[in-house]
Amino acid sequence: MARLTILLCHSPFHHESVDEAIEIGREALNRGHGVDLYLMMDGAYAVYNKQNGEPFNVEAVYQRLSDLMGKGARVVLCRVCAELRGISEENIPKGIEVGGLFDLSESISDSDAVLSFAGRG
């Protein structure tokens, strides 16, 4: 079984890379691979549990992350990125790890492949 690390730096509802990262992670899990999803920069907004896509019949991104974790994905939120964006602990769903660059470097080191959604957007 291979291991995949996905670095996500874009915010929800702003760039399609959020959907792409989640779908790639889901498909990798369905194929039996391990998945680490690291949320950095504006990707930190993906965990914000006050999102409400209901008026537009869109599932909140944090719920989709919870579904990924239920399938075995490890989701890590950059602590500094969250703090700089005013995301407090009560706005982070259970099961999401809060870490730092050391966690990202470990994930990269342990992975067979790394996808980065960090370009200009």
71-97 per-position pLDDT tens digit: 999 999 999 999 999 999 888 888 999
DSSP-based three-state secondary structure for 98: strand
CA nearest neighbour of 113 among 44, 34, 31, 40 = 34
pTM (predicted TM-score):
0.90
- DSSP classification of residue 14: T
Domains of the chain in sequence order: 3-117 (3.40.1260.10)
Cβ contacts of 65 within 8 Å, gap of 6 or more: 22, 37, 46, 47, 75, 93, 96
- Return the pLDDT at 12: 84
Phi-psi region of 102 (alpha: psi -120 to 50; beta: other; left: phi over 0): alpha
Residue with tokens 């995301």: 87
Give all strands of the β-sheet with 34-39 in edge-to-edge order.
97-99, 74-78, 34-39, 3-8, 113-117
- DSSP classification of residue 52: -
Name residues of the chain where pLDDT drops below 50: none
